[in-house]
Amino acid sequence: MATMSNSHQEKKYPLRKPPWLRHTFKAGPSYEQTRSLLRNAGLHTVCQEARCPNLWHCFSKRTATFLILGKYCTRFCRFCAVNGGIPEPLDKDEPARVAETITRMNLKYAVITSVTRDDLPDGGASHFAATIKAARDLYPPVPVEVLVPDFQGNMESVATVLDAEPVVFNHNLETVPRLYKTARPGADYRRSLDLIKAARTISPDIQVKSGLMLGLGEKTCELRDMLQDLRNAGCSIVTLGQYLQPSSSHLPVVRYLNPAEFEAWGEEALKMGFSAVASGPLVRSSYNAAQLYSAAAAYI
């Protein structure tokens, strides 16, 4: 497996996007219906706010990852396209609207994430719980996966979310410890690991998940150590995808990994003991989320 370099020397930015990342999508009726439904409900999706490369594909399949707690994040991570700024007041009706939209989209599996809300005492955990419960109150109830922020290390917030019984608890490590100050200045690697470990301890039977971005300058040994850290913390599902620079003001891509490298990392992760792995250039945290959950739940 090729070694990843963290050196920016002798590199010209921006790097040219390789052919396996160049795709043309056409907006069909299903795409427009999904977009209109979400807009009319006054809901945000991470697909749109984070400029996910799979947006066209997922909307056309009438799937989406709901983004709750507003559209403005209190963090300013240098890899993320979600807007940072003064957060909006908490929308008490949002959980009910999410549940109603899940019904209208006929979703059999829902994924809910949020902006980071360091301004809220519990980081928005109670709002997460209310949204999960609203979805689970549907008939038939819908399994819910959550992708949560770090709640500034507040383990009571973790317990609040888990008490609402999501089927998957996801918190992304994103990148290796050495790159946190550059990519995630408001976050802490050990704090995020402790959050994952706490989720496994509080709810031993739940599927615990994390996602990693590759191509920011991580080294092979660092990535391998990070995967092992996740396994030691009790993480059972992992996603690995290519970092794509959202704009010229964000961190540049240091290297594009080819599909064969992603496949090799996926195989290595499975050998480490992860129950389910998605690894590929366009893989994101919610990529094939229902299928990964099913695979992990069936893992013996």
Q: Within 10 Å of residue 22's Cβ, how many Cβ atoms? A: 7
122: DSSP letter: T
Interatomic CA distance for residues 165 and 206, integer angstroms = 9
Plot region of 9 (φ>0 → left; ψ -120 to 50 → alpha; else → beta): beta
Element (H, E) at 268: helix 259-272
Centre a 10 Å sphere on the Cβ of residue 126 and count the other Cβ atoms it contains: 16
Q: How does pLDDT run along the chain (300 residues), one tens digit per residue?
A: 544 544 444 466 678 889 888 766 665 677 777 777 788 888 877 666 556 666 666 766 767 788 999 988 898 888 787 778 889 899 999 999 999 999 988 889 999 999 999 999 999 999 999 999 999 999 889 999 999 999 999 999 999 999 999 999 999 999 999 999 999 999 999 999 999 999 999 999 999 999 999 999 999 999 999 999 999 999 999 999 999 988 888 899 999 999 999 999 999 999 999 999 999 999 998 889 999 999 999 985
3-class DSSP assignment, residue 177: helix
Provide the 8-state DSSP code for 62.
Answer: T
Directed axis angle between helix 189-202 and helix 220-233, to 10°?
30
Peptide bond into 87 cis (omega under 30): no
Both structure tokens of 114:
């949020």
What pLDDT score was predicted for residue 48? Answer: 66
Domain boundaries, the chain: 26-297
Q: How many CA atoms within 13 Å lie on the side-chain side of 126?
A: 6
The CATH superfamily assigned to 26-297 is: Aldolase class I (3.20.20.70)
pLDDT at 247: 82
Chain-centre distance of CA 222, in angstroms? 20
Tokens (6 digits) for 296: 């992990």
Q: Across-strand partners of 147?
A: 113, 170
The token duo for 132 is 């999960």
pTM, two decimals, is 0.90
